[in-house]
C-alpha cells in the first residue's frame, strides 16, 4: 500500500492525480490518500473527502475553512487551516509521498517541509525549483527524500534516462508546443484577449500555467527545473518547438543516439509514472494512433517574439536571486493580465523592469527568497498602477 498526500487536490493536476489513484486501485497497485488540500474550493474538497476518506484535509482560505468545518460530512476527518495545517501533516509518519500540485510560490514551503521530514515528492510545482533550486538541491543531499517529476517533459527525460549512465548524457531536448500564439506577429500579440490566451492548443491546465505556456515562460521555468532535477548545466538543455506535443522530450547521448518518450498529451501518464516509479502499472488512458499522425514537426523558439523565454535565459546566466524575481514578477503580471489590467505584451516588460531594478544575492536563504518574492510582486503591482 502506498500512502500519499495530495496538495492542491482540487486543481487540474490534483484532480488528475485522484483519477490516477482510482486507476491504480483498480489495477492492483493500492494507494491510500491520507491528506488532501485546497485553497478555497469547499465544494470539490468535500466531495473528495467523502470519496477518498483522508485522515485530514487542509484548506488555506480562512473563510473557506470555517465553511468546510460547518459542513456535516459522512466521513469525519480533521479539518486544518493554512500553512500551519500543511506543516502539521508534513510531520506525520503515516505516509511516504507528497504530490505537490500547488500553483506558484505557494508550493515552495510545502516542498521544503516535505524534504525536512524525509518524504518523497511527486513534484508538479516547478516554481519550487525555479525560486529555490539551489537550496532544495542541497537539502535533498542531506535528506532521504527523492524528487520525482510530474511535468511531462521531465517525466519523459526521467524515462529516457532509465538504465543509462548520466555521465554519457550530452543534451536534454525539451519540447514545447509553442502555445496558442506561435504563429502571431509581435504586433498581433499585443492585442490578444484573456480568453484567447487561456485556450491552449493541446493541454487543459490551470490558468496560471496556461498563460505561462502562451508566453513560453513555462519553457524557461522548465529549463531551470531540468537543471536542478537532473544536475545538468543549462547550456546542455535545448528547447525545440514541437506543436503536436507527441514527443514529450528527448535525451541525446555521447554516442549520438537519441531517446524520446512519446504519448498523447495527457498528464495522467506522467503523474502515474511518478507514483509507480520505477515500475509501471496498466491503465486505460488514451493511446497514440500512429496512423493518424501525419507529421511531427520541429522548430527553434523565436526569442524576439517570446521575450519571457529570453528573460528566463538571461536569469539562467545570472543565477543567484534573479530566478526569484523572474517568478514573483511573472505571477503578479499574470494576475494583472487575467484581471484585464495590462496587455499580454506588458507581462515581459514588467518582469524586465523588476529584473533591472534587482541587485543579485548569491545563494539566497529561504528568508531572502520570501522577501525577494514579495518585493518583486509589489514592484510589478506598483509599476502597473503607474501605467494606467
Binding residues for ligand NDP, per CB under 6 A? 8-14, 38-41, 60, 101-103, 106, 124-127, 151, 203, 205-206, 208-209, 267
Q: Which stretch binds Mg ion (CB under 5 A): 8-16, 150-158, 159-167, 191-199?
A: 150-158
Distance, CA of 311 to CA of 154 (rounded, Å):
21
> What are the cell numbers at 98?
507528497
- Helices 322-338 and 346-357 cross at an angle (nearest 10°) of 150
Nearer to ligand NDP, 127 or 346 (CB): 127
Nearer to ligand NDP, 126 or 227 (CB): 126
Nearer to ligand NDP, 243 or 270 (CB): 270
Q: Which partner in Mg ion, ligand NDP, none is near 60 (CB below 5 to 8 A by kind)? A: ligand NDP
Q: Which partner in ligand NDP, Mg ion, none is near 38 (CB below 5 to 8 A by kind)? A: ligand NDP
Q: Which stretch binds Mg ion (CB under 5 A): 18-26, 147-155, 171-179, 374-382?
A: 147-155
Nearest-approach distance from CB 125 to Mg ion, in angstroms: 12
Nearest-approach distance from CB 130 to Mg ion, in angstroms: 13
Q: Which partner in Mg ion, ligand NDP, none is near 102 (CB below 5 to 8 A by kind)? A: ligand NDP
Could you tell me which of 13, 67, 75, 3 has the C-alpha nearest to residue 35? Answer: 3
Cβ proximity of 287 and 264 under 8 Å: yes
Nearest-approach distance from CB 123 to ligand NDP, in angstroms: 8
Binding of Mg ion by 151 (CB under 5 A)? yes
Q: Which partner in Mg ion, ligand NDP, none is near 106 (CB below 5 to 8 A by kind)? A: ligand NDP
Nearest-approach distance from CB 155 to ligand NDP, in angstroms: 9
Distance, CA of 232 to CA of 237 (rounded, Å):
8
Nearer to Mg ion, 153 or 252 (CB): 153
Q: Which stretch binds Mg ion (CB under 5 A): 36-44, 143-151, 261-269, 317-325?
A: 143-151
Which residue number is nearest to ligand NDP in terms of Cβ? 11
Nearest-approach distance from CB 130 to ligand NDP, in angstroms: 9
Amino acid at each position: 500500500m502506498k500512502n500519499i498526500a495530495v496538495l492542491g487536490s482540487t486543481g487540474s493536476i490534483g484532480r488528475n492525480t485522484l483519477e490516477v489513484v482510482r486507476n491504480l486501485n483498480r489495477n492492483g497497485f493500492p494507494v491510500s490518500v491520507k491528506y488532501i488540500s485546497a485553497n478555497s474550493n469547499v465544494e470539490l474538497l468535500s466531495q473528495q473527502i467523502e470519496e477518498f476518506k483522508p485522515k485530514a484535509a487542509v484548506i488555506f482560505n480562512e473563510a473557506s475553512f470555517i465553511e468546510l468545518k460547518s459542513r456535516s460530512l459522512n466521513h469525519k476527518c480533521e479539518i486544518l487551516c493554512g500553512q500551519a495545517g500543511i506543516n502539521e501533516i508534513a510531520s506525520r509518519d503515516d505516509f511516504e509521498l507528497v504530490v505537490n500540485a500547488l500553483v506558484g510560490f505557494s508550493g515552495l514551503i510545502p516542498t521544503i517541509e516535505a524534504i525536512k521530514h524525509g518524504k518523497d515528492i511527486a513534484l508538479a510545482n516547478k516554481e519550487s525549483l525555479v525560486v529555490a533550486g539551489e537550496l532544495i538541491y542541497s537539502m535533498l543531499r542531506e535528506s532521504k527524500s527523492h524528487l520525482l517529476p510530474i511535468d511531462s517533459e521531465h517525466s519523459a527525460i526521467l524515462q529516457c534516462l532509465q538504465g543509462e549512465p548520466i555521465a554519457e548524457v550530452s543534451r536534454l531536448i525539451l519540447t514545447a508546443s509553442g502555445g496558442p500564439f506561435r504563429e502571431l506577429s509581435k504586433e498581433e500579440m499585443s492585442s490578444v484577449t484573456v480568453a484567447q490566451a487561456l485556450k491552449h492548443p493541446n493541454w487543459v491546465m490551470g490558468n496560471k500555467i496556461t498563460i505561462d505556456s502562451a508566453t513560453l515562460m513555462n519553457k524557461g521555468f522548465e529549463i531551470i527545473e531540468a537543471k536542478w532535477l537532473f544536475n545538468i548545466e543549462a547550456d546542455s538543455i535545448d528547447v525545440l518547438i514541437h506543436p503536436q506535443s507527441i514527443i514529450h522530450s528527448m535525451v541525446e547521448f555521447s554516442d549520438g543516439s537519441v531517446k524520446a518518450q512519446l504519448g498523447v498529451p495527457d498528464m495522467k501518464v506522467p503523474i502515474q509514472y511518478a507514483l509507480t516509479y520505477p515500475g509501471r502499472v496498466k491503465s486505460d488512458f488514451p493511446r497514440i494512433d500512429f496512423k493518424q499522425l501525419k507529421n511531427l514537426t520541429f522548430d527553434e523558439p523565436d526569442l524576439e517574439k517570446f521575450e519571457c523565454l529570453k528573460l528566463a535565459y538571461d536569469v539562467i546566466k545570472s543565477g543567484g536571486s534573479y530566478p526569484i524575481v523572474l517568478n514573483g514578477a511573472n505571477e503578479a503580471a499574470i494576475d494583472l493580465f487575467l484581471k484585464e489590467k495590462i496587455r499580454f505584451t506588458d507581462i515581459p516588460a514588467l518582469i524586465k523592469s523588476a529584473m533591472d531594478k534587482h541587485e543579485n544575492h548569491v545563494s539566497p536563504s529561504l528568508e531572502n527568497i520570501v522577501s525577494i518574492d514579495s518585493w518583486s510582486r509589489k514592484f510589478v503591482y506598483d509599476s502597473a498602477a503607474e501605467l494606467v
